[in-house]
Amino acid sequence: MRPIVIAANWKMHTTPAEAGELAATIAARTRVDGPVERVICPPYVCLAAVRDALAGSGVAVGAQNVHHELTGAYTGEVSAPMLAGLASWVILGHSERRRDAAETDDLIGRKLRRAAQAGLRPIVCVGEQLADRETGRAEAVVGAQVHGVLGAFADDPAALVGCGLVIAYEPVWAIGTGRNARGADAAAMADAIRAAIGEAGWPDLAPGVPVLYGGSVTAANVGEFLAEPAIDGALVGGASLKPDEMAGIVARAGLTAQARATGVG
């Protein structure tokens, strides 16, 4: 059974002092009976504060990005080995990074390779623009992204198998716009993503890869996505800064995890 994962992407919000307090509050408010993997991804400068605040809570810490090289003259960048002891997860290829930093699938694949080497569990983001969906190209575009990113492992396929790959499907047109994909559409895309992983050369890995939904997720709408067996959690943006919202999202995830574990849903 694939795990249920709720990952909070705080983006460029919180100071270290604010982050520690917020992380502790969310950890306390999101304890559930069902097996749900909780991850909080604060800004780089808040990683240590969040790590300390979450010690013993069962909530993991993730970074929001990592560089594609181990060391070098890259002012302002952070490499995977630098995150040792600070984070155990990392978000890669978020649509905002693709848009604002011109990150390509090839570059994201190189980052994924570095994350895997460093033992960081990756959440790789893929997703289409509105024009892609309106012209019926959504699945083709996302499939090409999957192929492009995983191409970094063509010479060492076993390295991908062992990294604990998670994919986050984030329809770009649903991020911060007030628009949402439908649960059925997200589920169809999750199936397409796993098919693309298989076509790229990992047919045995594909069925077990968790696919999260990310696109203006809230406590009010997360149930529609978690009701789909193909969806295994959420990458939460703005709502992840609100303890009440996170409590509702994780509570629903807990119910889903319990139902799947008992074969009820």
> Catalytic residue numbers?
94, 170
Tell me the C-alpha distance between 143 and 195, whole Å.
8
Other beta carbons within 10 angstroms of residue 163's beta carbon come to 19
Chain centroid to Cα 201, Å, comes to: 22
The Cα 263–Cα 243 span in angstroms is 30
DSSP 241: G
For residue 41, give the 3-state DSSP assignment.
strand
Tell me the angle at which helices 16-29 and 47-54 cross, rounded to the nearest 10 degrees: 30
54/18 Cα distance (integer angstroms): 14
What is the C-alpha to C-alpha distance for residues 174 and 184, in angstroms, rounded to an integer? 15
User: Encoding tokens for residue 1?
Assistant: 């059974």
Q: Encoding tokens for residue 245? A: 């919202």
Q: Is 224 helix (H, G, I), strand (E, B) or coil?
A: helix
Q: What is the DSSP string of 85-127?
A: TT-SEEEES-HHHHHHS---HHHHHHHHHHHHHTTPEEEEEE-
